[in-house]
Structure 1
Amino acid sequence: MRIDLHTHSTASDGTDTPAELVRNAAAAGLDVVALTDHDGVGGHAEAIAALPAGLTLVTGAELSCRLDGGDGFSVHMLAYLFDPLEPELARERELVRDDREPRARAMVAKLNELGVPVRWERVAEIAGVGAVGRPHVATAMVELGVIDTVSDAFTSEWLAGDGRAFVEKHELDPFDAIRLVKAAGGVTVLAHPLALKRGNCISEGAIAELASAGLDGVEVDHMDHDAPTRARLRGLAADLGLLVTGSSDYHGSRKTCRLGEFTTDPEIYGEITRRATGAFPVPGAGG
């Protein structure tokens, strides 16, 4: 059984539509895929309608969080199988989404000041109907030949958390995110927590505090974690009683990762579904 619990569609910053994503997931030999667009659930209905027989969809989102307030740094929280209509969590997700366009415009302005002729109109065109974010800005930079790949933008030189063109946005406190997702019947997993190339990383002590606050798991097997980092995280998860997941963080053609590049153990997936009360996995019916 092959399970990928972290993917993105055009509803945020992926290049596959939700329908294309689930069809591609089935073609890649996956049995279960989670659609976890940034701070939104807008792609779920389309994905469910197109869900092929033999593939199960886990509904979710990747929540933007900030540890230690304004002087802290961003962390991402994967939320699975929560009730999308729970009002408090829905309100927080809306606040984050509403802040995305002003933030992206401000990043474009900073890049222009640095001599990079990115145009806001092109960034908006790349984003399309999705929630605009840094990968869309990075794609425009690739088109201009400023960088070679989207991943190259996520450094201190450009758009990483300590980058010259980085702009903060409204983000949840991760402890609040855990509380809100649990209140909505969902399960929380800390996404790529030690991805060093993305900038500042969360400390092991902070992960322990989040575990004490109810964090369910940690994403260990991820393209931005090398083998020693994965081993370190596995040991920490065992010490803290956290679930260990593996995922592709698939963004279509925007990143080099492939669907199913890393996967989650079926027993862990079963435990996630047992803990969730806000929603249930959706089995494909040949859509």
Structure 2
Amino acid sequence: MRIDLHCHSTASDGTDSPAELVRNASAAGLDVVALTDHDTTRGHAEAIAALPAGLTLVTGAELSCRLDGVSMHLLAYLFDPEEPALLAERELVRDDRVPRARGMVAKLNELGVPVTWDQVARIAGDGSVGRPHVASALVELGVVPTVSDAFTEEWLADGGRAYVAKHETDPFEAIRLVKGAGGVAVFAHPGAGKRGRTVPESAIAELAAAGLDGIEVDHLDHDADTRARLRGLAADLGLLVTGSSDYHGSRKTVALGEYTTDPEVYGEITRRATGAFPVPGAGGI
């Protein structure tokens, strides 16, 4: 059983539409795929309508959080998307994305980069605009060779020359909200140091005590030593260990199913969730 619990579509910063994502997941031989767009569930209905037979969809979202000045992401699975408190917080984060992206465009212009808001908006399309869309604009202009190369201190990394902060949820509050909506909370790529500062292990222990369910260990941005360290930490704290591609379509090189989650862990996630249930494919449209 092959399970990928972290994927993005055009509803946020992926390049596959939700329907394309589930079809591609099926073609890649996955049995279970999670749609976890940034701070939105807008792609779920399209994905469910197109879900091929033999593929199960886990609905979710990747929530933008910040702890003591360090940006972090929380994967929320199988929560009630209409629960008012969590819905209001997601909308607050999303509403801040456009002014933030406009601010990054302005900073880039001050640095002599001729990026425009119209260019970024075109790249984002109907998705929730974010740094990857600005990074893609820099690639189009030949400023950097890849999206990943834009996430440096020279450009868009936390504290970088063109970085602009946005509203991000306190992770302890995010865990409380996810649990209140019947969901399961997993810390996404906690050891991804090349993205910037990471949350210390002492804080992960505090998050575990506050109800964090698991940490994403098997991930492209974690080397072998980091994975081993995080597995040990999860064992010490009683946390679930997940693995996933963090697929963004052509915006990243990682393939669907390149990293996966153990079926027993997936089963435990579904047992803990009360806000929603995995959706089995019925043949799609």
Q: What TM bracket, shorter-length normalisation?
A: over 0.9
Give 1:115 deviation, angstroms.
Answer: 1.3
Structure 1 distance, partners of 2:3, 2:159, is 33
* Paired position in structure 1 for 2:132: 135
Which residue of 80, 83, 87 maps to 1:83? 80
Amino acid at match of 1:88: A
Give 1:162 deviation, angstroms.
Answer: 2.0
Matched, 1:57 2:57: yes
Matched, 1:25 2:25: yes
Structure 2 distance, partners of 1:102, 1:96, is 11
Structure 1 distance, partners of 2:32, 2:82, is 23
Matched, 1:173 2:178: no
* Paired position in structure 1 for 2:154: 157
Gaps of 5+ in 2: none
Which residue of 199, 209, 213 maps to 2:210? 213
Amino acid at match of 1:209: E
What do the CA deviations read for 1:114-142 (whole angstroms, capped 9, x no partner)? 11111110000000000000000000000
Amino acid at match of 2:103: A
The residue correspondences of 1:187-226 to structure 2 (distance < 5 A) are: 187-226=184-223
Following TM superposition, the consecutive aligned residue runs of length 4 or more in structure 1 with deviations greater than 6 angstroms are none
CA RMSD, 1 decimal: 0.5
Indicate the SS of the match to 2:206: helix
Indicate the SS of the match to 1:6: strand
Amino acid at match of 1:161: D
Amino acid at match of 1:106: G
Could you state the TM-score of these two structures normalised by the residue count of structure 1?
0.98
What do the CA deviations read for 1:145-164 (whole angstroms, capped 9, x no partner)? 11011011111111111211
Matched, 1:100 2:76: no
Structure 1 distance, partners of 2:70, 2:187, is 14
Amino acid at match of 2:96: D
Structure 2 distance, partners of 1:225, 1:117, is 34
Structure 2 distance, partners of 1:200, 1:163, is 12
Gaps of 5+ in 1: none
Identity among equivalent positions (%) equals 82
Structure 1 distance, partners of 2:229, 2:115, is 39
* Paired position in structure 2 for 1:5: 5
Give 1:62 deviation, angstroms.
Answer: 0.1
* Paired position in structure 1 for 2:259: 262
Could you state the TM-score of these two structures normalised by the residue count of structure 2?
0.99
Give 1:47 deviation, angstroms.
Answer: 0.0
What do the CA deviations read for 1:2-35 (whole angstroms, capped 9, x no partner)? 0000000000000000000000000000000000
* Paired position in structure 2 for 1:41: 41
Structure 1 distance, partners of 2:155, 2:190, is 20
Structure 2 distance, partners of 1:24, 1:148, is 26
Structure 2 distance, partners of 1:135, 1:27, is 26
* Paired position in structure 2 for 1:240: 237
What do the CA deviations read for 1:40-76 (whole angstroms, capped 9, x no partner)? 00000000000000000000000000102xxx12100
The residue correspondences of 1:67-82 to structure 2 (distance < 5 A) are: 67-68=67-68, 72-82=69-79
What do the CA deviations read for 1:79-124 (whole angstroms, capped 9, x no partner)? 0000000000000000000000000000011111111111110000
Structure 2 distance, partners of 1:206, 1:120, is 37
Indicate the SS of the match to 1:190: strand
Structure 1 distance, partners of 2:153, 2:174, is 27
* Paired position in structure 1 for 2:141: 144
Amino acid at match of 1:144: L
Structure 2 distance, partners of 1:154, 1:212, is 32
Amino acid at match of 1:67: L
